Each structure stands twice: as C-alpha cells, then as structure tokens.
C-alpha cells in the first residue's frame, strides 16, 4: 500500500485522514501544528502522540522532505540560495534573503519554465513540470528549518511562471497563510507573473488578496517581445488593460517590475515610452538594475538608474530601485541549477 504524503495537506484533508483511520478530529490539528509550525523532521518528534499511534502514522504516511543538494551563502550572509533535488530527480531553487527586519523567501512554482525570457536562466531549461502543493510548501519548510527562523514575506519569483500552475500556487499560498501553521499573511505574499492576461483577470475576479507583480521590462512591443516572447501572445495594450482591470476590481496596487539593461531598455526613448504607457495607471514601479551573468548584456550606469527614477517619479507613482541581493552567488533564478549542471560535467 502506498503511503500518503502529509506535506501539503490542508487541515481539512488531515481531518478526513484522521477520520478514515478512526481518530478524533483534534489529532488533525495537532499534526498540522507540528508539521507546519514546529517543522518536525520525523513523525517520532510529535511527543503528544503515543508511540503506538506514531508507529501507525509512520506505516501509513510519509513526509515530503526535499533534499538540499547545494547551498550558497552571499559574502554578507544575507542571501542563502538552496538547490533541491525532487523525488523524480528534477531540481528546483529557493532563495532566503534578509533585508533589515524583512526575511523573504523566494519560491519556485515549476520545474523549468516554458516562457523562455531571454534574460532568465530558467527559461533556458525549458518546461519540465508543475510543482505540487506539497513540493511548494516543502521548499519553504526546508528553507525555514535550515535558516532556523520564520519568514516575514514570500515571493513566487523563483523558477517557473506561477500563473501557469495557478491552482497549486494559490492552494499552497492558502496553506502557508493558515494561522495554525506557517502563518504568512496574504498581503505578505507576492505572486509575480510574466504577464498572462487571462490569469491576471481571473486573479482579479477571485479577489485573492495576495500581492501581484508583473514583469514589464520594456515599454514597446518590439523590445518586450525580444526580451519576453509571451508578449507576442499578450502584447502591451492587452497587458495594461488587464493590469488596470486588476487594480479596479481588487482596489490593490500592483507592481510593475522593470529589469533595466544597458542599451536594451534603458534608453531615453524607453523612459519616454514608459511614462506614456503608465500615465493614469495606479501602480508601483520597481526598477531592478541588471546584474550581468555573462557577456551578453551589461548593467546600467548609476546615472541611467537615477534618470529613470527621476523621470518616473514625475508620474506621481511610487518608484523604487531594487538592487539584486546575493550578486556574488548565483542568486538569479535558474543560475544555481546551471552552475550545478556545469560542475557535474566538468
Ligand atoms: S523570467 Fe520567469 S517567466 Fe520568464 S522564463 Fe524565467 S521563470 Fe519563466
């Protein structure tokens, strides 16, 4: 008989399971709490269960731990990047970042990604498969256990396009938010999309309450399609309309992420196009100076970053510059995986 994986189970599912083996409902709440809040590594650690009951649980269930195969720590110690091996041999990455009092975990939602953005190492892997709810939650549990702390914020900005694994990402986020478990609140969880228009509208209609970030990265269709092929399917006009729809329906501000790359999307005409595009849109803009990983592109100059910031502030919107954390380790999504593969082959 195959064992039931309890990592990723909701409280209701645990209640059903306990009922199915003749146990009272409160046992489910205990299991939920020990698994997600106390972050046990083994059923035997649940001291409120009798030895006999623990043996029965071990016979019938298993925990979906992920194996850490590599971990890189930035020189300042504030960024930790984890490479996990899944049970089927695939790899995924998660990143833990400290910034003042914020402790943010960046989670993967898929193995690889089908969208092939030209600046992204994960895009080069192609799409392998979606992560299950259990695998998404197991990443977080493993990172928090390794770091010995809680997370204040979560971002779905690791490997994969979260909106192409919509149900599992939303279900995982709901589970992560449960007050008897990991307990990261909705407004502390950000889901980042490359700009899938139907899913942005669905997210708005469902009023999920999580924060939304959209990778914009260019203000004209030709440049954006070059950087992000998904733009050919959902061009800028459709994307902006969907983003406006989201802010009207949800009444929440969303963030446009703009990866600033020297000579590609940091020209004077780019900022002018961007100002035109964003006029009247209720949003924040996050400028992320490109962190070169090979010879293909270069980082923007400080003057250009300042110029973009100044010009966008004229729109009376919130604009910030996010320096990439962990620039000395392979902290952009998909880079640790490629590094690991290269090492194995050398
Ligand atoms: S940036 Fe995101 S959406 Fe684009 S290829 Fe990478 S993982 Fe996929």
Domain boundaries, the chain: 4-62, 67-345
Low-confidence winner among 1-5, 6-10, 178-182, 257-261 (lowest mean pLDDT): 1-5
d(CA 259, CA 275): 16
Strands (E), 167-282: 189-193, 211-215, 254-260
Cβ of 122 below 6 Å from ligand 1: yes
ipTM above 0.90, yes or no: yes
Distances (CA, A) of 175 to 90, 251, 268, 304: 24, 24, 45, 42
Reported as a pLDDT band with limits 50, 70 and 90, residue 313 is very high
Nearest C-alpha to atom 5 of ligand 1 is from which residue?
123
Q: Is the pLDDT of residue 341 over 60?
A: no
Q: What count of other Cβ atoms lies within 10 Å of the Cβ of residue 80?
A: 21
Atom of ligand 1 nearest to the CA of 119: 1
Q: Name which residue sits closest to atom 7 of ligand 1, judged by CA.
A: 160
* pLDDT higher than threshold 90 for residue 331: no
The confidence band for 138, taking pLDDT boundaries of 50, 70 and 90, is very high
- Segment among 224-228, 314-318, 323-327, 339-343 with least mean pLDDT: 339-343
C-alpha 195 – ligand 1 centre gap (Å): 10
Q: Is 90 exceeded by the pLDDT of residue 346?
A: no
**123 close to ligand 1 (CB < 6 Angstrom):** yes
Look at the domain 4-62 and name its fold: DNA polymerase; domain 1 (1.10.150)
Q: Which CATH class is domain 67-345?
A: alpha beta
pLDDT digits (tens, 9 = 90+) for 21-56: 999 999 999 999 999 999 999 999 999 999 999 999
Query: How close is the Cα of 117 to the center of ligand 1, in Å?
Result: 5
Nearest CA to ligand 1 atom 4: 117
Query: Which sequence positions are flagged as catalytic?
Result: 93, 333
Locate the DSSP E strands across 56-177: 61-62, 67-73, 79-85, 91-99, 102-106, 110-112, 127-130, 153-156
């Amino acid at each position: 008989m195959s064992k039931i994986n309890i990592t990723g189970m909701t409280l209701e599912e645990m209640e059903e399971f306990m009922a199915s083996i003749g146990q009272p409902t409160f046992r489910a709440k205990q299991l939920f709490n020990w698994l997600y809040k106390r972050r046990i590594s083994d059923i035997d650690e649940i001291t409120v269960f009798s030895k006999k009951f623990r043996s029965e649980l071990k016979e019938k269930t298993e925990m979906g731990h992920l194996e850490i195969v590599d971990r890189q720590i930035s020189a300042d110690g504030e960024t930790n990047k984890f490479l996990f091996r899944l049970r089927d041999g695939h790899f995924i990455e998660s990143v833990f970042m400290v910034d003042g009092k914020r402790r943010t975990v960046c989670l993967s939602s898929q193995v690889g990604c089908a969208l092939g953005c030209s600046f992204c190492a994960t895009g080069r892997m192609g799409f392998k498969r979606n992560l299950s709810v259990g695998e998404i939650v197991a990443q977080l549990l493993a990172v928090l256990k390794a770091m010995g702390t809680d997370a204040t914020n979560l971002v779905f900005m690791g490997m994969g396009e979260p909106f192409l694994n919509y149900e599992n990402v939303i279900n995982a986020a709901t589970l992560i938010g449960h007050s008897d478990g990991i307990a990261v609140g909705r407004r502390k969880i950000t889901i980042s999309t490359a700009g899938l228009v139907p899913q942005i509208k669905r997210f708005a209609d469902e009023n999920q309450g999580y924060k939304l970030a959209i990778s914009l990265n260019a203000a004209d269709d030709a440049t954006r399609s070059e950087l992000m092929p998904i733009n050919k399917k959902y061009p800028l006009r459709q994307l902006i309309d969907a983003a406006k729809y989201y802010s009207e329906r949800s009444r929440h501000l969303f963030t446009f992420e703009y990866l600033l790359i020297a000579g590609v999307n940091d020209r004077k005409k780019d900022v002018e196009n961007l100002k035109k595009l964003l006029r009247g849109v209720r949003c924040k803009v996050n400028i992320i100076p490109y962190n070169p990983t090979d010879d293909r592109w270069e980082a923007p100059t400080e003057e250009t970053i300042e110029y973009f910031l100044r010009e966008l502030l004229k729109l009376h919107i919130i604009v910030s510059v996010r320096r990439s954390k962990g620039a000395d380790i392979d902290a952009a999504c998909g880079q640790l995986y490629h590094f690991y593969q290269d090492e194995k082959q050398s």
